[in-house]
Amino acid sequence: MTNWDERLKKTKAFLKFNSKDLLINGFESGFRDDYEQAIEYFDKSLYGIVGTTETSINVNFYKAVALSKLDKNDEAIEIFKKIIEKSIIDGVDPDDAIWQNLGYAYLEIENYVDAKKCFDNAIKLEAEEINSLFGKSLVCFELEENNVALDITNRILKIEPDDVDTLFLKCEILIEMNRPEEALEIIKNIEDEEDNISERKEIEATAHGELGNNVKALECINESIQYESDNDNTWWNKACYLSLLDRKEEANDALLISTSIEPENLIDIKDEKDFENIKNTERFQKLFNQSV
């Protein structure tokens, strides 16, 4: 399509709807999780806005959020950064939501240093905004700043004592700090809900594994799989516990499922110390050779 045809197509779309209508249509598409359609509406809306205005900044913000939902984080980051630059030029503090969403976009691409700076900026503006605090806790956990991460989860739980995501994160931090008993105590008091049982059982398995109770860990992993059977990490962990229990064939079965769901796991099998008991089996060697 020529540039003229493309421009004519956009002009017709704008004449059919005004920018406000297109923005609303973009929101509606976003609520339906149709982010590709949402971005199309946002682009058409921007076409009808002259210059850089508060409206165009808002549309760009929601476009960047939609891009993040599609894992197009590099594109989202560029838009968020331009919004921040424009705000600073205008002498206005960027909204905490912009810093927060930029932080999560950096988190997704594992740029933890810049993510932490963004969450810090968001928290300066809104000290008790849970999503910003949670994001910073996640980043600190990834950076192995476990004491800081734990302090932040405790801060969140003072605001929202029953926030399940924060409780789960706190358990993971405690396990990493060699305090699995405390993690199990927290897990025990979390109310069962169908949408969190799989993650709960996975964390519980890790805690039991750290305590050397691989039989109990395996039981928990099997329960997790009942609720989420397509998680490659859960099958990987099952393979680990089965290997530690010297149940070689079953361990290789679980490992095969894990690497079938996520072939990139093949890269890591040579470095997994829990596979010591199965590394000399024919089936393991066949998988290992695929990774080379």
Domain 93-161 classified CATH 1.25.40.10? yes
- 1-70 matches 163-229 in fold: yes
Residue 182: predicted pLDDT: 97
Q: 72: buried, middle or exposed (CB in 10 Å: 19+, 13-18, 0-12)?
A: middle
Q: Looking at domain 163-229, which CATH architecture does it have? A: Alpha Horseshoe (1.25)
Q: What is the CATH number of domain 1-70?
A: 1.25.40
Domain range summary for the chain, segments of one domain joined by +: 1-70, 93-161, 163-229, 237-292
Contacts of 196 (CB under 8 A, 6+ apart): 164, 168, 190
How big is the chain by its Cα radius of gyration, in Å? 24
- Looking from the CA of 125 toward its CB, the CA atoms found within 13 Å total 16
Q: What is the pTM of this model?
A: 0.83
- Counting every residue written for the chain, the total comes to 292
Sign of CA dihedral 56, 58, 62, 65: positive
Per-residue pLDDT tens digits for 3-18 = 545 544 544 444 445 6
Residue 48: predicted pLDDT: 61
Below-50 pLDDT ranges, the chain: 1-2, 4, 7-8, 10-16, 50
